[in-house]
Amino acid sequence: MQCPTSWAALFTHIYYAPHPRAPIYPPPAAPTTIESMIYDTTSIRWVNRWKKTPKTGGFAISNTLQPTLRPTKRFLNTQREIFGRLIQCRTGHAYTGEFRRRFFPDKVQDCPCGEEYQSREHILAHCTKFDIHRNHLHKISRDVFLPTILGTEEGIQALTTFLQESGAFTMLGRPLDERAPPDFDTEPEVPETDDDPET
């Protein structure tokens, strides 16, 4: 260690020099680095927990794709109504007789095609009402094997196309009519008042 040559240098050396036994810490991380570390840790923990959890229930055959913290392309590129039916179909919470039976056991649970029991498997693989649209599913799985259709990227893409064209898993069992956006020119004028509505 060199000896300082001026009083100012001596003052700086004594008061601002680190103590020789002080621990040396790395410089603080940037906020983006910390955010990235948190993201990675959360993602790893979630995937590990997902891997350790037994796959049971109605979603078990669909629960094969690793979870991710980012929205999937399927979520970003699919119409909201179609995506909703896709999730309902994959989780088993779709508009089917099988699902309605849990809440309304006394009501009719049969399929409009004449089948006694309307299930998710029946609609996807056997219902004659959707035969002309089933070709999308047959391209991925010749026998429309549900774990392939509901649990793989290719199967889910084919299922999305099937739902879009067929209207399956809707209350009416057909594609919904396109709704026109509201036309504000034909809406009635609402008078603006300063009156308090409670008086």
* pLDDT tens by residue, 90-138: 998 888 888 888 888 888 778 888 888 889 999 999 999 999 999 999 9
pLDDT at site 15: 62
- In a domain? residue 72: no
- In a domain? residue 33: no
Kindly state the average pLDDT of the residues 138-159.
93
pLDDT, averaged across the chain: 83
| Residue scoring higher pLDDT (147 or 57) | 147
Between CA 159 and CA 87 the distance in angstroms is: 11
- In a domain? residue 141: yes
Helix (H) or strand (E) holding 6: none
- In a domain? residue 181: no
| Residue scoring higher pLDDT (117 or 14) | 117
Contacts of 137 (CB under 8 A, 6+ apart): 124, 125, 144, 149, 155, 158, 159, 162
Say whether pLDDT at 191 is over 70. Answer: yes
Listed residue (120, 133, 114, 65) closest to 92, CA to CA: 120
Say whether pLDDT at 24 is over 80. Answer: no
pLDDT at site 100: 85
| Containing structural domain, residue 149 | 77-169
Say whether pLDDT at 9 is over 70. Answer: no
Kindly state the average pLDDT of the residues 55-84.
88
What is the tally of structural domains in the chain?
1
Question: In this structure, how many other beta carbons lie within 10 angstroms of the beta carbon of residue 119?
Answer: 20
- In a domain? residue 186: no
Is 98:109 a contact under the CB 8 Å cutoff? Answer: yes
Backbone phi, psi, residue 168, to 5°: -65, 150
Half-sphere exposure in the Cβ direction for 49 (13 Å, CA):
8
- In a domain? residue 41: no
Say whether pLDDT at 22 is over 90. Answer: no
- In a domain? residue 190: no
| Residue scoring higher pLDDT (184 or 96) | 96
Kindly state the average pLDDT of the residues 30-34.
85
pLDDT at site 111: 85
- In a domain? residue 150: yes
